[in-house]
Amino acid sequence: MGSRKYFGTDGVRGAYGSAVMNEAFAWRLGAAAARFARERGAASPVVYLGRDTRASGASLEAALAGGLAAEGFQPVSLGVVPTPAVSLALRQAPAAFGVVITASHNPAADNGIKFFGPAGIKLTDDEEARIEALLPATAGAGGAALGSYDARSLYVATAARLLPAHCLRGWKIVLDGANGAGCQTSHAVLTQLGAEVVAIGCTPDGRNINEGVGSQHPEPMAAAVKAHGARVGIAHDGDADRCILCDENGDVLDGDEILTVLALHALKGGRLARGRLVITVQSNLGVDAAVAAAGGTVVRTPVGDRYVIERMLADHATLGGESSGHVICAEVSPTGDGLVAALKVLEVMLASGQPLSVLRRQLTKFPQVTAALTVREKKPLEGLPTLPATIAALERELGAQGRVLVRYSGTEPKLRLLVEGPTDAVVHGALARLEQAVRADLEVV
């Protein structure tokens, strides 16, 4: 695997105005990506640029376009669109590659840049490392004339065809767009299918993306479902590649529950390729038990939807995702798509005649607790004096009845802790011991 300095688990990300998230660096990154595409023999000079609703997006897009143009490529703006709409555009209208300017679920003060290859699939670690190696030393001063392409209409039309016309007539659905890129597109599709949509988090102003709403903050969605007597709630993140749901009782479903509902429905109909579901090490062990009981198997990857997708491609799997709400339905799209995930769950509800409150009972989660500690420095975990021994001791104590996961976030200065075990008391006690060890070894802020 190539060594990467700037790319994390989902592109380059940071506070806008920082050393890696400013116009000069965006220009350099655009130039480097163009050099990479030329090196790989790109068949088209066109590059698609999409972005979310952050105020910093337009100027970063212009800078990226300048770097692309300086290397002889033709930047084409898709405007504000969900991340999966960029992937779809690449598959429908050939281009050298695509770029999405987004920091996903992060606050508005952050932004990010991630790349898709010509087949609409995120780049690998090695490909990102090669782009870093091709970065010019300094940014140029040139801009670029941006072309345009209506990827939004393409995305809406394609998604609306996933379910029968007017099949949601009589349904009331709460949509929380996180004040992000999916506000208009998801609303348009649900409305076309006949639903009455109650919209929250759908008034972006460039500064309020993910602010108290969206997949990271499902409470407003749950409250709206109960207040309006809706049948289901749907919440996206800032670039709408995630989906978190809420049943008619106002109870929230995470990605594990969504994936279990979809996997078991597909297994029952003989449509889950190789009977296999691909998830990450973050997902609850209850998913493995539910899928195994239905005759399927689960494969786990490192955290990051890119790694899920890579494994799905290698295994010819059709369903995978993360507990965070990234769900990949490969028969529709080779990347996470919050709207597609929601529509697929609605399809199960329609086919089964069961409300989401019943369907969710197919997953019984193992007791699990998590924590995310902000650290001053990401020191190598294996070299710490206290934490490795604590992890080893807990793993011995839990045995086959649980597990411990400790990892650094790939997008934030955080150390993430997860413990699963037989009882709530056991997992809370184990988490407390982990946090104590972390504080002994690292400066927590």
Strand partners, 12: 7, 113
Contacts of 108 (CB under 8 A, 6+ apart): 54, 55, 206, 207, 208, 209, 210, 211
The Cα–Cα gap between 334 and 327 comes to 10
* First vs last C-alpha separation in the chain: 31
Catalytic hit among 77, 104, 323, 333: 104
Q: Residue 197 is inside which H or E element, if any? A: strand 196-200
Strands (E), 24-162: 46-51, 74-80, 97-101, 110-116, 147-148
Residue 158 Cα to chain centre, angstroms: 20
Strand partners, 210: none
The Cα–Cα gap between 386 and 442 comes to 10
Token pair for residue 5? Answer: 């300095």
Give φ, ψ of 23 to 5 degrees: -65, -40
* Cβ 256 vs Cβ 287: under 8 Å: yes
Contacts of 372 (CB under 8 A, 6+ apart): 409, 412, 414, 415, 416, 417
Three-state secondary structure string covering 264-324: HHHHHCCCCHHHEEEEECCCCHHHHHHHHHCCCEEEEECCCHHHHHHHHHHHCCCEEECCC
* Cβ 60 vs Cβ 113: under 8 Å: yes
3-state secondary structure of 368: strand
Token pair for residue 91? Answer: 């598959």
* Cβ 75 vs Cβ 144: under 8 Å: yes
For the question of residue 409 being annotated catalytic, the response is: no
* Cβ 292 vs Cβ 285: under 8 Å: no
Contacts of 262 (CB under 8 A, 6+ apart): 319, 327, 329, 341, 344, 345, 348
Strand partners, 277: 298
Calculate helix-pair angle for 338-352, 151-160, nearest 10 degrees: 20
Q: How many CA atoms lie within 13 A of 125 on its CB side?
A: 13
Which residues form the catalytic set? 104
